Amino acid sequence: MKKIGIMTTGGDCSGLNSVIYNIMRGAKKRGWAVYGILDGTDGLIPEKPNIIRLDQDVLPQEYSFIAGSFLRNGNNSQNNNFEKAVQTNKVAQFTKQLKKSLAKINLDALILIGGNGSLSLAWQNRDMYSDMQLVCIPKTIDMDIPLTDITIGFDTAVSQLTRFCDDLLLTARSHHRWFVVQSMGRKCGMLALTAGVASGASAILIPEIKFDVDKLVKHIQSSDSDYGIIMVSEGISLRGHSGEPATMISRKLTAAGIANRTAFPEHIQRAGNTTPNDRILASQMAIAALDAIANNETYVMTALQNGEITTVGLDAVVNAGKPSRDPNISGLIISDAIVDDDNPLLIAADEMGIYIGETK
């Protein structure tokens, strides 16, 4: 009987519990035992690793649709983590402890559900997992992981952000006012772009497309409406200005006499019951991860490519995309997926008369 471990790391999102549940369900059919590591790598720091045996009584189906991670993602300030280990120059000791704890658990394989930071760390410290198979499942609302067309949690985040904008639009109309909504996404504008198109925003500003704030102002002033949504990705910058991107844009609009307010949906984007699309993706990637284990694959990530679920090498993932430095872990290079110039949603937004920047 194979012994499988599951760990969720990095920021949470909706869809994690669906993945965990479907791994548990698929593993049971294969006769494999499944254990959850609580609190990510934090759960591997104690002398006695913090793990639980997963079954239907521990994680019933109705819990699989809610947001967050049943296993929790860690970041307990009292425990050590990669960030602290780098700051104190104790990475070797830290990874040694993690490997020792994993040896105690005696896993045949570990399924790591994480974002591009977690995947980059896993590859950088891959010796930690040399005694077992490592299979990763991509999850993030930012959609910034290369080599997969979509990630767990993205569809639900789009739904949450779109609903937020829909509700704001009602009060915007009542008061003849524009709302500058700041989305998450880090350096990738995919969440802002997708929810912006879905909610019929009048303007969408993302990190990948240069914009002229004066042209944005003129676009709003020449609009047929005196209210609406201006979607701003958290990763944009405005030369000569500092602060939250939405606040910077709001100041420019106010200076031009345009009535507006800022709105920050923040972690609402990570919440909400998992959408059907995310549940389906979770089941497909869970089974792909189990198939990878059965096929003796290791250091791979499940991915959706051109409508097909497959696995790709973790080395290929971290070497694809646009490299950037992790803001919290010195020396860690992350590969970011970005919105390409020929993205169909950019074309759709332009055809809808949405200001998306200076694309030509």
Q: What is the mean pLDDT of the chain?
A: 94
User: Which CATH code fits 158-270+341-351?
Assistant: 3.40.50.460
To the query of whether residue 142 is one of the catalytic residues in this protein, the response is: yes
Q: What is the pLDDT of residue 76?
A: 61
Q: Which of 288, 212, 241, 336 is nearest to 220 (CA)?
A: 212
Q: What is the pLDDT of residue 79?
A: 63
> What region, left, alpha or beta, does residue 306 occupy, with left being phi > 0 and alpha being psi -120 to 50 degrees?
left
Q: Which CATH code of 1.10.3210.10, 3.40.50.450, 2.60.40.10, 3.40.50.2000 fits the domain covering 3-153+274-320? A: 3.40.50.450
Are 341 and 96 in contact by the 8 Å Cβ rule? The answer is no
Residue 233: strand pairing partners? 183
Q: How far apart are CA 306 and CA 290, in angstroms?
A: 21
pLDDT tens string 238-265: 888 888 999 999 999 999 999 999 999 9
For the entire predicted model, the pTM comes to 0.96
Q: Containing H/E element for 315?
A: helix 314-318
Active-site position among 12, 42, 142, 336: 142
Q: Which of 244, 234, 297, 283 is nearest to 108 (CA)?
A: 297
pLDDT tens string 15-60: 999 999 999 999 999 999 999 999 999 899 888 999 999 998 899 9
Mean of pLDDT values over 306-317: 97
Q: Treating both helix axes as pointing N-terminal to C-terminal, what angle do 276-294 and 16-30 enclose, rounded to 10 degrees?
A: 40
Q: What is the pLDDT of residue 78?
A: 61
Q: b vs e for 277-298, b when ≥16 Cβ sit within 10 Å of the residue's Cβ?
A: ebbebbbbbbbbbbbbbeeebb
Query: Could you tell me where in the chain the CATH 3.40.50.450 domains are found?
Result: 3-153+274-320
Q: How far apart are CA 192 and CA 183, in angstroms?
A: 6
Residue 142 CA to its chain's centroid (Å): 4
pLDDT tens string 179-237: 999 999 999 999 999 999 999 999 999 999 999 999 999 999 999 999 999 999 999 99
Distances (CA, A) of 50 to 43, 83, 108, 138: 5, 20, 17, 23
pLDDT for 353 beyond 80: yes
Residue carrying structure tokens 């792909």: 288
pLDDT tens string 49-94: 999 999 988 999 999 999 999 999 876 656 667 878 777 888 788 8
Q: How far apart are CA 342 and CA 223, in angstroms?
A: 26
Q: How far apart are CA 225 and CA 353, in angstroms?
A: 13
Are 19 and 139 in contact by the 8 Å Cβ rule? The answer is yes
Query: Could you tell me where in the chain the CATH 3.40.50.460 domains are found?
Result: 158-270+341-351
Confidence of residue 315 (pLDDT cuts 50, 70, 90): very high
Contacting residues for 95 by C-beta, under 8 A, at least 6 apart: 85, 125, 127, 128
Tokens of 83: 């960030």
Tokens of 109: 């394989």
